[in-house]
Amino acid sequence: MVLVRETVLADWQALRDIRLLALRDAPYAFGSTYEDQVNFGEADWRQRIARGGTFLAYIPQVGASEPAGMIGGYQPGPGPVELVSMFVRAQARGRGVGEALIDAVIGWARHRDAPSVHLWVTETNKHARGLYERCGFSVTAERQPLPSNPALGEIGMIRPLS
Ligand SMILES: CC(C)(COP(=O)(O)OP(=O)(O)OC[C@H]1O[C@@H](n2cnc3c(N)ncnc32)[C@H](O)[C@@H]1OP(=O)(O)O)[C@@H](O)C(=O)NCCC(=O)NCCS
């Protein structure tokens, strides 16, 4: 069983810890780096939470106090919601946590009347890409270098919301 909930301000340390773990564990997957965010203070993490759309996932195998995964939804304007910061810790993978997190962002986007959810995924990240395809995302023609490591390429994916 996977429990997903939106973060509240009191989660700032839990969010910081799993986000920094993600950036250390899977640098190939994110546009930001560990060095970019390791010195963020309490106010920065609280600000991110206050923006809304950040979710944590919990499973019994990891425990009630430590998140098994995280994800973010971000809507820069009235258009698509951007799915960002998807991460599931290694010992929690393959248990449906990723899918539950994506469902949470899709629900959040629907609630905001977004026409679609868009994301960038590193071209070589086959597990993530497979998961997104299972959740209804299709590859677009968009391509860009990964900002944190321009030697890697990112592809755009989109899921329309009807
Ligand atoms: C991508 C990721 C979020 C998937 O989360 P998840 O909860 O394991 O998702 P699923 O349960 O649907 O499994 C996804 C894939 O991982 C595989 N998997 C299963 N158990 C695994 C394990 N112990 N370790 C690694 N991968 C595993 C699954 O077989 C599946 O592979 P497939 O798509 O080739 O069939 C997770 O692997 C992760 O956090 N990776 C590092 C960060 C990242 O890539 N983020 C995406 C940014 S765009």
Give the DSSP letter string of the chain: --EEEE--GGGHHHHHHHHHHHHHH-GGG-SS-HHHHTT--HHHHHHHHHTS-EEEEE-TTT-SSS-SEEEEEE-SSSSPEEEEEEEE-GGGTTSSHHHHHHHHHHHHHHHTT-SEEEEEEETT-HHHHHHHHHTT-EEEEEEEEETTEEEEEEEEEEEE--
Q: pTM score > 0.85 for this model? A: yes
Give residue 97 CA to ligand 1 midpoint distance, Å. Answer: 9
Ligand 1 atom having least distance to the Cα of 119: 48
Q: Is 57 in the pocket of ligand 1 (CB under 6 A)?
A: no
Q: Is 125 in the pocket of ligand 1 (CB under 6 A)?
A: yes
pLDDT in tens, 129-154: 999 999 999 999 999 999 999 999 99
pLDDT in tens, 50-105: 999 999 999 999 998 899 999 999 999 999 999 999 999 999 999 999 999 999 99
